[in-house]
Amino acid sequence: MKIFTNHRYALITGIVLALVLAFLLHKSLMPDAEFNHLALARWVHIVCGIFWIGLLYYLNAVQVPAQAAATEDKGGPGPAAIGKYVAPRALFWFRWSALATWVAGAWLLADRFVPAFTFGYSNGSHDYQNVVIGIGVWLGTIMLLNVWGIIWPNQKKVLGLKPATDEEKAKARKTALYASRTNFILSLPMLMCMAATSHGLPI
């Protein structure tokens, strides 16, 4: 069956299953309740965010160290297979899940979008919720800009998707690494702030 042999079919099947389950639970347990588009936005935001941050952690904790080890292993297969087959796929899901996470987050914030970005100063509600979610929103936005403005343009040179000299590739590799590590670092306080609005700060 294709849902077990093709990851795209498996992903689509999971999405359809979740939506059907949500519909059935809604109709059986809350038949009079109206459709809650913000609950859908939250679910999309969480799923896309798991994709994005999961790949960010994979790239920083697994792929980059693996490529470095493969480069140093003179008798091994080298890092070419990762660069040719793994990295382009990982970066495809990485950059689009980053964008989808941000868009779903903006959808979820709805009328709180501007207050979050201004820490509540735009509507006179400079309180815990707006300050904490505002920090999370700004960190997430910086991370998104890093993905599309720095990491992906430089990775295209590294992967040979955009013409570049060896010197330009070396510079692009370093720039992409630093931007990715910046996102790796920022992801931890960002996730803390996102969770803190409903679960509190960890200290």
The token pair at 129 is 């919720």
Q: Tens of pLDDT along 10-31?
A: 999 999 999 999 999 988 998 8
Given pLDDT bands bounded at 50, 70 and 90, which one contains residue 72?
Answer: confident
171 pLDDT higher than 80:
yes
pLDDT attached to residue 75: 80
Contact indicator for 189, 142 with CB cutoff of 8 Å? no
pLDDT attached to residue 74: 83
Report, as an integer, the average pLDDT of 37-44.
93
163 pLDDT higher than 80:
yes
E strands present in 58-126:
none
Q: In the predicted model, what is the mean pLDDT of the chain?
A: 93
pLDDT attached to residue 148: 98
203 pLDDT higher than 80:
no
pLDDT attached to residue 1: 79
pLDDT attached to residue 10: 95
Domain ranges (residues) in the chain: 1-35, 37-199
pLDDT attached to residue 106: 96
Which residues lie closer than 8 Å to 169 by C-beta, 6 or more apart?
A: 157, 158
Q: Residue 90 and residue 192: Cα distance in Å, rounded?
A: 25
